[in-house]
Structure 1
């Protein structure tokens, strides 16, 4: 269905040409640490580096003499670390707005464009992934443009078996405590009862992720994909629940010290007034129940290019970082 899309022919290098010199927050983590039973590579525990798309690709290909070499990325060995330029709004990546409108056409799926579609781009090296979670708003359409990803999905009925948690907190994301690839059955025995659906999504293919389905996606190689979320009538009730969760969590963090790890790097806690206003707005939407079905998701999760400190001071160093946790890294 996407064969006619211009974006269907995009490669990571083409994306680099569209993005130019703009730098984005990328997260890195040791690919070997995930092999430890029960260990989850939460986003807040990742290393973070600002990088352009071109610098990102140069790092993957280990071009040490490349003009696009990023000094901060060069601290990390691509054979040890994976890197993810994830959940970036395509409008912030591609500066020429007309390019996106010509390249992507969700109407081929019969979707009505009452509002502009919000497109998100995901560019990752082998091993890059997001912890298993489900989204409380809408459903998800994912188009694989380049490379391949392994998707492991679980139906909502498996929620109890996946040990849901709101820590780390992020609006509209409910995470699983289980290391999906290497579970600790002593800690999470119910996971044995789960019913995973494993899909290898290849270039040119489209994946539909239904509402509240759990999903874990991992890049099997250098991978480029885009996605969009679409609203459902159930979203208004979910927004009320999320407003209450934000209010509770903001209060919780106010009265507890050393709780930064409870919050995802791209999230913020808000004041009582802001939280009360947000709850009031969501209750209004729920009570009026506007009939907005199959329209582009204009407010999904709060991923953004957050102001995250990088682990380097910008000086010209030659050593590389190791995680210090896994057997592989302890040898170096």
Structure 2
């Protein structure tokens, strides 16, 4: 067996003995036995070890899961991926590695990232590429049908100001310092993503076989809402289907996609504005879905720049001073979300909402919207839409959550 047939796992090689000992100390004797057999090439043992670790990950609330079991899950995923790789089952190997990235611990993260790069390169090497006219994810956009189904009073109040060439000094003084929204129109032209992400074939090439978590349902406040793990190619099929704007759309929302798929991360740049005030940049999140996907009215604790790479979105904003009139939930987990469904306002239950003043806009491709902390915002995709949010904290309170 040549070295080209093996996945490099230097961290696992050096940490395996200590990790297995730690797992044993927490009662994972059966896991250790299966993992040892998996390391020796037993495929069924590798599957069994991963299943044992999976059960531990779901034995109680996520925050109560012992970190050693997250690392155990990563270990099992690496063993399974290695054996799939030996069989040239590259899609299966990538799925195992992605599950390790999504659900596993941090100890073996370097090996998972390294293995993804190796498997991806080998899969492309073995595939045949043909030169065809690029297929667009979103065609040229005129006025979209979705504009007709916006919430009541949309585009009737004050619009968010659009500005080009905003200096860092002006942004800090006039917008971030005053905590007031603004659309920046000219800061994304140099991003490779501006052309690449509207190329369906490019997305399939760099991410088609990767596994991602998606949301299924109108939004996270609805009872029928759920999450699934599917391949990126399956996701692309769903959002392009004729019924993708139905009552149960599929949405890749608030996921650190760029930590998982490094090639997509290289297609974007962190806006200089995110370093204004000396705050701390938070993980980047992707928002990718069909027309009609909605993020209900809510607020976030951080400064936010929402960059619209592909497609267009309608966004409505209310200042933090109107929080009481927007009827936030009292439950701790949802207190940053409003009980008001802007698409169907119950004016008897929420009488204060109808006459409130707001800012709104249609965010076009290539534009960035600055959303200050605690500003309430509702977002609806008017087309297939691919956006990136950049969060950063205040320098004086970098650990705010």
Q: Which whole-Å CA distance do the structure 1 matches of 2:293 and 2:388 have between them?
A: 15
TM-score between the two structures when normalised by the length of structure 1: 0.57
Shift, 1:107, TM fit: 2.4
Q: Does 1:21 align with 2:209?
A: yes
> Aligned pair in 2 of structure 1 residues 79, 215: CA closer, same or farther (>3 Å)?
closer
Shift, 1:158, TM fit: 1.3
Q: Which whole-Å CA distance do the structure 1 matches of 2:302 and 2:245 have between them?
A: 37
Q: Which stretch shifts more, 52-61 or 108-117?
A: 108-117
> Aligned pair in 2 of structure 1 residues 7, 233: CA closer, same or farther (>3 Å)?
same
Question: Number of aligned pairs?
Answer: 212
Q: Which whole-Å CA distance do the structure 2 matches of 1:102 and 1:28 have between them?
A: 27
Shift, 1:124, TM fit: 1.0
Q: Which whole-Å CA distance do the structure 1 matches of 2:297 and 2:227 have between them?
A: 20
Aligned position for 2:272: 107
- Structure with larger Rg: 2
Q: How does 1:297-312 map to 2 (within 5 A)?
A: none
TM-score between the two structures when normalised by the length of structure 2: 0.47
Q: Which stretch shifts more, 41-50 or 106-115?
A: 106-115
Q: Does 1:154 align with 2:318?
A: yes
* Larger relative contact order, structure 1 or 2 (CA cutoff 8 Å, min sep 6): 1
Q: Does 1:230 align with 2:392?
A: yes
Deviations along 1:271-306, one digit per CA (max 9) or x if unpaired, are: xxxxxxxxxxxxxxxxxxxxxxxxxxxxx6xxxxxx
Shift, 1:116, TM fit: 6.4
Shift, 1:100, TM fit: 2.4
Alignment partner of 1:4: what SS? Answer: coil
Q: Which whole-Å CA distance do the structure 1 matches of 2:254 and 2:222 have between them?
A: 12
Q: Which whole-Å CA distance do the structure 2 matches of 1:111 and 1:7 have between them?
A: 23
Q: How does 1:186-197 map to 2 (within 5 A)?
A: 186-197=348-359
Gaps of 5+ in 1: 31-39, 64-76, 240-299, 301-332
Aligned position for 1:4: 190
Alignment partner of 1:221: what SS? Answer: coil
Deviations along 1:193-215, one digit per CA (max 9) or x if unpaired, are: 42221211111011000111000
Q: Which stretches of structure 1, 4 residues or more, deviate above 6 A after TM superposition? A: 112-116
Shift, 1:83, TM fit: 1.5
Gaps of 5+ in 2: 1-186
Deviations along 1:34-75, one digit per CA (max 9) or x if unpaired, are: xxxxxx761664133222222111123339xxxxxxxxxxxx
> Aligned pair in 2 of structure 1 residues 100, 26: CA closer, same or farther (>3 Å)?
closer
Q: Which whole-Å CA distance do the structure 2 matches of 1:2 and 1:224 have between them?
A: 14
